[in-house]
């Protein structure tokens, strides 16, 4: 397995060297999106995370939401702080908070996996300000995306309430929380997100320069959701169709966000295939919730068909949500 990882890293390095200018431009574009939309949305919550998930906060959340967490999601009340942080701050803050809370509360690995996967997503601040106002020109549209994400997270938490009952090993914390320097920790975590985005942006643009703009655009969506959302927002489609596509992409999260979540949960036994399949399901759910909000009858199918001929990315984006159905077959044994 390590040999394959080395070969994969070698192939990716060769890809970057094959198109160095495209790689540099892709990394620069990703870092600019991080500066303008992602960092302002996640940094404040990362800085406040020691207070939001500390002992005092855990007691308060347990008193307010403990009963709901147990009855609805079969999670201990102590998991409430991580759920709140994940829904408000997004990835990777939710995964980081989930692991810390799980270790302190004595949760097992199955509970941690269910919690972390269900609350993966983007900060409502990013969806409203970055996507809605910045890319679509309307904060109201961003609020619709945020509502779809919230409904998706709650639905996943309900669907997974009985999953992975056999994973009863205790969760080990990644390390001590440095409460005396929360801002420093938040800066490092935010810069880590920048590094992930720059790497995936460079890879997608290098590959796009080799395979062409159409396939390169689809690859960009797969790898980096913020960059892909910007591309989808400018497709020649009706607004409901663009909203459904963007919602599906943000629900899935992109490989960059998924890699950050898996990195925060390293050593906890979560399989990448499980995370990918369930995030594909999240993309399908999110697209459905957004289509319902926009009015499914308002989708302009003729315009969609025309745009699909002009830009195959539209078809690829719509069909990607269908991958959630066969992907769940692979999970049948592990979530039963």
Number of residues that make up the chain: 336
Domain holding 241, by residue range, is 17-335
Residue 1 located in a structural domain: no
**Of residues 122, 161, 148, 116, the one with CA closest to residue 269:** 116
Mean pLDDT of the 2-30 span: 81
Residue 4 located in a structural domain: no
Instruction: Count Cβ atoms below 10 Å from residue 305 Cβ, excluding itself.
Output: 12
Burial pattern 54-77, b for ≥16 Cβ within 10 A else e, equals eeebbeebbeebbeebeeebbbbb
Residue 39 located in a structural domain: yes
Q: What pLDDT is stored for residue 283 in this prediction?
A: 94
At residue 170, what are phi and psi to the nearest 5 degrees?
Answer: -70, 155
pLDDT in tens, 68-106: 898 899 998 888 888 988 898 888 888 988 998 898 888
Q: What pLDDT is stored for residue 331 in this prediction?
A: 52
- Our count of domains for the chain comes to 1
Q: What pLDDT is stored for residue 322 in this prediction?
A: 46
pLDDT in tens, 188-209: 888 988 998 898 888 888 888 8
Helix (H) or strand (E) holding 267: none
Instruction: Count Cβ atoms below 10 Å from residue 166 Cβ, excluding itself.
Output: 11
Q: Are residues 198 and 31 in contact, defined by beta-carbon separation less than 8 angstroms?
A: yes
Q: Are residues 112 and 167 in contact, defined by beta-carbon separation less than 8 angstroms?
A: no
Q: Which residues contact 11 (CB under 8 A, 6 or more apart)?
A: none
**Of residues 172, 189, 166, 53, the one with CA closest to residue 114:** 166
Residue 76 located in a structural domain: yes
Residue 6 located in a structural domain: no
């Amino acid at each position: 397995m390590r040999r394959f990882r080395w070969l994969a890293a070698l192939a990716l390095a060769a890809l970057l060297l094959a198109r160095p200018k495209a790689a540099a431009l892709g990394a620069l574009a990703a870092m600019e999106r991080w500066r303008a939309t992602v960092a302002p949305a996640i940094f404040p919550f990362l800085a406040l995370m020691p207070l939001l998930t500390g002992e005092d906060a855990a007691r308060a959340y347990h008193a307010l939401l403990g009963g709901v967490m147990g009855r609805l999601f079969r999670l201990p009340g102590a998991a409430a702080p991580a759920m709140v942080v994940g829904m408000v701050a997004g990835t990777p803050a939710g995964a980081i908070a989930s692991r810390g809370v799980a270790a302190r509360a004595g949760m097992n690995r199955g509970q941690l996996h269910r919690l972390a996967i269900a609350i993966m997503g983007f900060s409502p601040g990013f969806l409203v300000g970055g996507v809605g106002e910045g890319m679509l020109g309307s904060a109201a549209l961003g609020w619709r995306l945020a509502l779809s994400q919230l409904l998706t997270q709650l639905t996943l938490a309900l669907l997974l309430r009985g999953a992975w009952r056999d994973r009863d090993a205790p969760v080990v914390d990644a390390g001590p929380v440095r409460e005396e320097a929360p801002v420093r920790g938040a800066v490092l975590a935010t810069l880590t997100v920048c590094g992930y985005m720059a790497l995936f942006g460079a890879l997608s643009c290098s590959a796009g320069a080799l395979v062409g703009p159409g396939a390169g655009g689809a690859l960009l969506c797969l790898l980096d959701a913020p960059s892909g959302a910007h591309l989808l927002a400018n497709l020649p489609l009706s607004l409901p169709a663009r909203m459904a596509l963007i919602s599906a992409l943000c629900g899935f999260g992109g490989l960059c966000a998924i890699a950050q979540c898996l990195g925060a949960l390293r050593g906890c036994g979560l399989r990448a295939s499980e995370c990918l399949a369930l995030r594909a399901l999240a993309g399908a759910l999110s697209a459905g919730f957004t289509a319902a909000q926009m009015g499914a009858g308002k989708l302009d199918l003729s315009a969609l068909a025309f745009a699909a001929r002009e830009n195959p990315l539209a078809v690829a984006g719509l069909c990607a949500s269908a991958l959630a159905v066969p992907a769940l077959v692979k999970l049948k044994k592990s979530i039963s």
